[in-house]
Amino acid sequence: MQIAIDGPAGSGKTSVARALARRFGCLLINTGAMYRAVALGLSRGLKLSEIQIEIRPNERVLLNGEDVTEKLYTQEMDELASQTAAHPDVREFLIAQQRALAQNRDVVMEGRDIGSVVLPNADVKLYLDASLEERARRRCQERPGLPYAEVLAQMRARDARDGQGFGRLQITPDTIVLHTDGRTLNDVIAEAIRAVEAALQRRSSSGKLSG
């Protein structure tokens, strides 16, 4: 089974993806973490061909054997990863790895072009959305001490980048859109679970599941 979750930064993708992976016994693949790891490797002077990324079941991320998980979630890495993801060669490099990770296994994969590019035949496609202001507020809650105005400006610039070119944010016709403004996380997770269960029921009747 393949579950694809897309949406802009701060929309709640990771929290929902984590809950779905636990509920349905799937491997969680955070593609944003993969882009962050590549950005870190390139910033260290590595060539793209020299970078090896491993995603562990406990959400740890290894860069050439080193656990770099704690280094990936800073405001600086937010910006660096977004810029790195805009390069077609980086996207091609990681898309191939992401598809390989999803082959013949049950996965919940989250990112910004999973349902449209990486796993276009996913069994369930979800798109989480929220207003720019709400997403900036959530990011400030996650990382206390960050100035709201600075986070808001950075997210606005990132949204502009993420909406352009190859790998841009898209909502395919078969995607279920979940608006998360003013809703509790548990409420959004419950709706996502219902969507997955309904899709599984439909696919199971037809005898077709991806993986």
What is the DSSP annotation of 152-190?
Answer: HHHHHHHHHHHTSSTT-----TTPEEEE-TT--HHHHHH
Question: What is the pLDDT confidence band of residue 168, given thresholds at 50, 70 and 90?
Answer: low
Position 110 scores a pLDDT of 96
* Domains delineated in the chain: 2-203 (3.40.50.300)
* Token pair for 159: 């949204």
Whose CA is closest to 123, among 44, 198, 73, 31?
Answer: 198
Higher local confidence (pLDDT), 31 or 154: 31
Tell me the pLDDT of the chain averaged across its residues.
90
pTM of the model: 0.87
Position 204 scores a pLDDT of 75
36 pLDDT more than 60: yes
167 pLDDT more than 60: no
Structure confidence by residue, pLDDT tens digits, 169-211: 789 999 999 999 989 999 999 999 999 999 888 877 776 666 5
Structure confidence by residue, pLDDT tens digits, 79-110: 899 889 889 999 999 999 999 999 999 999 99
